[in-house]
Amino acid sequence: MDKNQAENFQQLVLRLKADKSYDTIEKLAGGAPTSRSLQKLATKGFTRMPDPETFQGLSRALNVSQRDLVLAAARTLGIYIEAENPSDLTLIGAGRLPNESQELLRSTSRELQRWMDRSQAEDARKGYEGSADAYVHELFPTERMAADKGESNIDPEQLPES
């Protein structure tokens, strides 16, 4: 969702609150936040992140994930965090691996990203614009032999050993 379209904390809470009273939400939340503090949060906003108990209680009372509440609160404070980033790869179950294995995965990812960045920088330095034709020259450099390029009437068996 575009950061300009995503709901902030007040919008999310008021939408999920619907026709429930603030007192009802306080009871469903288990007392935190209080009806008075929730009303203030939902109508006047805030300049500091609410406490964890507020997120936990509202999550129960409004049937919404704490993650969604925290992201909405961040948007209220002008911090835009992409909820789903298409360039991220989630490895299901990786969070249950031992810490050493998790760090190995992070380290491998960083190295692969560095390699990709270097490769893209090298391509830019060579003047490649990302077109398919640019990569054909990489696969079949002009200095290679005719048989290497797949030209007809040349038997690959007769090529010198590399």
- For 146-159, the pLDDT digits (tens) are 555 556 666 666 66
CA distance 26 to 23: 5
| Token reading at 36 | 């008075």
Q: Structure tokens of 63?
A: 């049937």
Q: What pLDDT, on the 0 to 100 scale, is given for residue 158? A: 63
Per-residue pLDDT, 143: 57
* Dihedral (CA of 15, 19, 23, 25) sign: negative
Q: Indicate whether this model's pTM tops 0.85.
A: no
Q: What is the pLDDT of residues 123-147, one digit of tens each?
A: 888 776 554 444 545 555 555 555 5
SS3 20: coil
**Residue ranges of the chain whose pLDDT lies below 70:** 1-5, 82-86, 128-162
Half-sphere exposure at residue 116, Cβ-oriented, CA atoms within 13 angstroms = 6
